[in-house]
Amino acid sequence: MRPEMVRVALFKGAETLRIDGDGVLLTDGRGEPLRVEMPLEVRRSGSGLSVNGKSVNRLVASAFSRISVNGKGYRALVEVSAADKGLLVVNELPLEEYLVGLINCEISSAWPIEAIKAQAVIARSYAVYQMQARRGQSYQLESSVMDQVYEGADVEDSRAAYGVRETAGEVLTYDGKTIQAFYHSNCAGHTESSKNVWGLSIPYLQGVPCRYCGESNPIRWELNLPMRKAEASLRGAGFQVAGLRELRVRGRNQSGRVQDVVAECSRGSVVIPAVAFRKALGYGTVKSTNFELRGGRDEVQVVGTGSGHGVGLCQWGAKGRANEGFDYREILSYYYPGVRLSGGYGR
């Protein structure tokens, strides 16, 4: 069977790129060889590219070993084209090789092997789902937290490779279809239902209690948020909160996370769903929707637990469960109730 190939967007909007490597075959996108010396400096030029000063429509670099892009190594094939803004760089590589690199971006290969296998299965399921959903598009996966973090082949190692190989081709399915296997870093006690985050109830994403993540790694965070900064961020996200003078929590859902934030402004109060509040302030700033707001006039203190949207598998919880002796099948069926583990990419 031909290995599944996945297309991952590495850079979007880059101004220039430096590409290097040994034994790299370069073509112009129509299959014509491109005769230029390594290393390459690639820039946007008109509707195409300039590669070491030479104009081409597109650049395709392929290698048996690795291709270096801005100092990081990538496998198989790297494609550069002009995007709406700057350059678009897509890495096309076998799905199983992508997963080996992904392990050390999403978790750590020093974690117990059953947690690594669980991560391999959910990342493969997530990728297969997106490959079907975004078929025919120029890429199917972002290399950031928008999909799954991927920073290339330099972080691959033998434990990551072992976890991927031991689960080769295995995905989670529900009703015979590959699931959208959402996951997150740390749920701080209870995972979240998809309905509370995206408004869509999915049978296997209803939220379950999770005590292991809190025991192994209780994540607490806090930040002092100046009211003016909150106002600017919320207005930037389209909320009419001019003259913001108070923020408070309203309601919590069954997982304990905040439902809404009420913003008192000069023209009355505005109700902001907590998920939208977190997005407006930044996912890295407000690490989860499990927080309290401690008031002040010029500044509000945000004190929270957990990290990530909370839906699906909790990575730190999976680590705790693996340490307790659960195998990856048990870990997966706990976080995604009712799903099946299917071989052969679920087909």
Indicate the residue among 73 and 207 with the shorter CB distance to Zn ion. Answer: 207
Residues 265-304: x where in contact with Zn ion by CB under 5 A, - otherwise, as a string: ----------------------------------------
- Across 228-255, b (16+ Cβ under 10 Å) vs e yields eebbebbeeeebebeebeebebeeebeb
Q: Give the Cα separation of 111 and 119 in Å (integer).
A: 11
Q: Give the Cα separation of 312 and 332 in Å (integer).
A: 9
**C-beta of residue 214 within 8 angstroms of C-beta of residue 188:** yes
Q: Give the Cα separation of 169 and 124 in Å (integer).
A: 8
Q: How far is the CB of 162 from Zn ion (least distance, A)?
A: 25
Indicate the residue among 111 and 139 with the shorter CB distance to Zn ion. Answer: 111
Is-cis flag, bond preceding 33, omega within 30? no
Q: Give the Cα separation of 36 and 52 in Å (integer).
A: 7
Q: How many residues sit in the footprint of Zn ion (CB under 5 A)?
A: 5
Indicate the residue among 100 and 311 with the shorter CB distance to Zn ion. Answer: 311
- Judged by CB under 5 A, the residue of 179, 317, 335, 346 near Zn ion is 317
Q: How far is the CB of 109 from Zn ion (least distance, A)?
A: 20
Q: How far is CA 78 from the centre of its chain?
A: 20
Is-cis flag, bond preceding 3, omega within 30? no
- Judged by CB under 5 A, the residue of 314, 322, 331, 339 near Zn ion is 314
Place of tokens 């870093």: 185
Indicate the residue among 197 and 261 with the shorter CB distance to Zn ion. Answer: 197
Q: How far is the CB of 274 from Zn ion (least distance, A)?
A: 18
Residues 147-186: x where in contact with Zn ion by CB under 5 A, - otherwise, as a string: ----------------------------------------
Indicate the residue among 87 and 314 with the shorter CB distance to Zn ion. Answer: 314
Q: How far is the CB of 47 from Zn ion (least distance, A)?
A: 48
Residues 71-130 that bind Zn ion (CB under 5 A): none
Q: How far is the CB of 123 from Zn ion (least distance, A)?
A: 18
CA dihedral 131, 134, 139, 145 (to 10 degrees): -80
- 318 lines the binding site for Zn ion (CB under 5 A): no
Q: How far is the CB of 287 from Zn ion (least distance, A)?
A: 14
At a CB cut-off of 8 Å and minimum separation 6, what does 175 contact?
A: none
Indicate the residue among 10 and 318 with the shorter CB distance to Zn ion. Answer: 318
Indicate the residue among 207 and 317 with the shorter CB distance to Zn ion. Answer: 317
Q: Give the Cα separation of 191 and 185 in Å (integer).
A: 11
Q: List Cα–Cα distances, 223 to 239, 261, 301, in angstroms.
A: 21, 16, 6
Indicate the residue among 26 and 314 with the shorter CB distance to Zn ion. Answer: 314
- Judged by CB under 5 A, the residue of 172, 187, 197, 263 near Zn ion is 187
- Residue 156's SS3 state is coil
Residues 195-234 that bind Zn ion (CB under 5 A): 210, 213
Residue ranges that bind Zn ion, judged by CB under 5 A:
187, 210, 213, 314, 317
